[in-house]
A and B are shown apart, each in its own frame.
Chain A
Amino acid sequence: MRAFSDWQTNKPHDERVHDNEQVTTSNKHQVHDNVTKRYAKGREAMKPAVFQYVRPNNLQEALSALRDNADAKLLAGGQSLIPLMNFRLSRPTTLVDISQLKELATISVSEGTVHIGGLVRHQQLHEDEQIREVLPVLSKAAGEVGHWAIRNRGTLGGSLSHADPAAELPAAMVALHATLLLESADSAREVPAEEFFLGFLTTDLQDGEMITSVKIPVPAPNAKYGFAEFARRPGDFALAGAYVELSGEGGTDAVTWFGVSGGPERRELSIAKETSDRAEQFKELAEEFDPVEDPAYRKHLAVVVAEQAYQQARKGQA
């Protein structure tokens, strides 16, 4: 772990920024010295509140740092946390930066189970060949998270622990029967995704715990999945989205919605073959939801996306 005390210069901030010698400015950009000076006059070019920065070298160090700093937060991709910090809606006293821990960024498939590390980026998940092959629906959903630049940094563990009700991946975990591995310095436990999400931005993650990986069973050969969402512009948070699971004859089908209530909503049913019957079924289920904004519209969208996801599943496209 890079000891943060080595970094302590005990030099007052003002003195530091007034000391222009310290600012490396390449010759090409001398003209911008003025900018630097302007900011040196007491205008701070930064927004997040002060925090202690810890950069562990491995998982064990990261978990120890979490245990030893009561108020510490993990910094993974930072695509949800840093906006909150920029506006000072979140002011963690310590950040434990795990973004460089490669050991947590792996994807593997063995013995009918897909293992995905907590630090796998959305774009990596979207492009991974194995995921495309065994869980095409997850590949497709990961490609819908935010925008390209966000997906290059945002992580699976970050998305799951943030638990935004309109996010694609928490619902994907519920739809795909994932189990989350939660580790802390002194313990480890497994929690089914369906029990992990407790409501609006709320999960079962305890202090000192980290989502280190998830495992997803490779779907049975006759199971088919579909995914659809509705957003005003590509990359925006979805107003409603759904995963449909068709289990083949005899089994139970399921729809898992997101964006329509506080968290993922999975409902088992036997989905009707007839379009109008299906619409009735989806409508009846959507009635139970309690969307915060535009309830009637969101419930309508819930039916629309479920039907689209159903069509995708039937075609076996993803």
Chain B
Amino acid sequence: MNKLAVNLPGLHLKNPIMPASGCFGFGREYSEFYDLSKLGAIMMKAATAEMRFGNGTPRVAETTAGMLNAIGLQNPGVKEIIENEVPFLANFDTNIIANIAGSTIEEYEMVAKMFNETNDVHALELNISCPNVKEGGIQFGTDPKMAAKVTSVVKEASNLPVYVKLSPNVPDITRMAKAVEEAGADGLSMINTLTGMQIDLRSKRPLLANKTGGLSGPAIKPVAIRMIYEVKQHVSIPIIGMGGVNTAEDVLEFLLAGASAVAVGTANFANPFVCSEIIDELPETLKKYGFDTALDAVGKAVME
């Protein structure tokens, strides 16, 4: 029996580890470091209806135990992604999760429909939480009614399971989680980045061209853990957890808090092998803390 296997709506994961959206592109670059078939799944970079150029540079800044990014959803557009990127990823024995962003409900709907027509995408991740685009994105992520609306429209538009990616930039994350669960979400993905800013002492101006950016990396892990722990107690759909994961111990912490699978984002930049190494180390880590399988650990912190 595979002790790392986890089954989620639409996703039969050989292990609960996947690179997070936007931190792994469409896999090409990292496929030169290791065989992507090793991964439980791959969360693709956000897709929008049309090609987007994104924000000005600088787009990233380093912070204590993390980084800020304001890429601005640069991507070649859903058509190009379906024609050129999905077929490449389909060569690997792993699950493909398509991350969708948009500035209108119609845009989410259209992109979801297009992914639905390919045979190679296993699930959708609705990015209703990108802090780095002017319109749309974040509004869907902070207003429970809007979040529910976009979720139900996308559910209607496609047969694929839908994981809604929640923004931490809200006063009550549970309310958001419940709203999208009621609207038909098959799962949650949390958390996206926390809005932040860095001022450059030399220019005395915000360092990022977009002024604000999304904070990711180890600095946000406690926020992610707290939010997953809270949400887990109030929803019954599964959670894919993320935020500052660097090690197999971090993964176990997310599982205990209530995540059924875990995505790794920023850590890929310092160590392109991080997902692969975590997968290798996870069985030993689970054993060390008294678990036979990954599944055994899910939600243990909440239940006891």
**A and B found bound together:** no
Please list the residues of chain A having a beta carbon within 8 angstroms of any beta carbon in chain B.
none
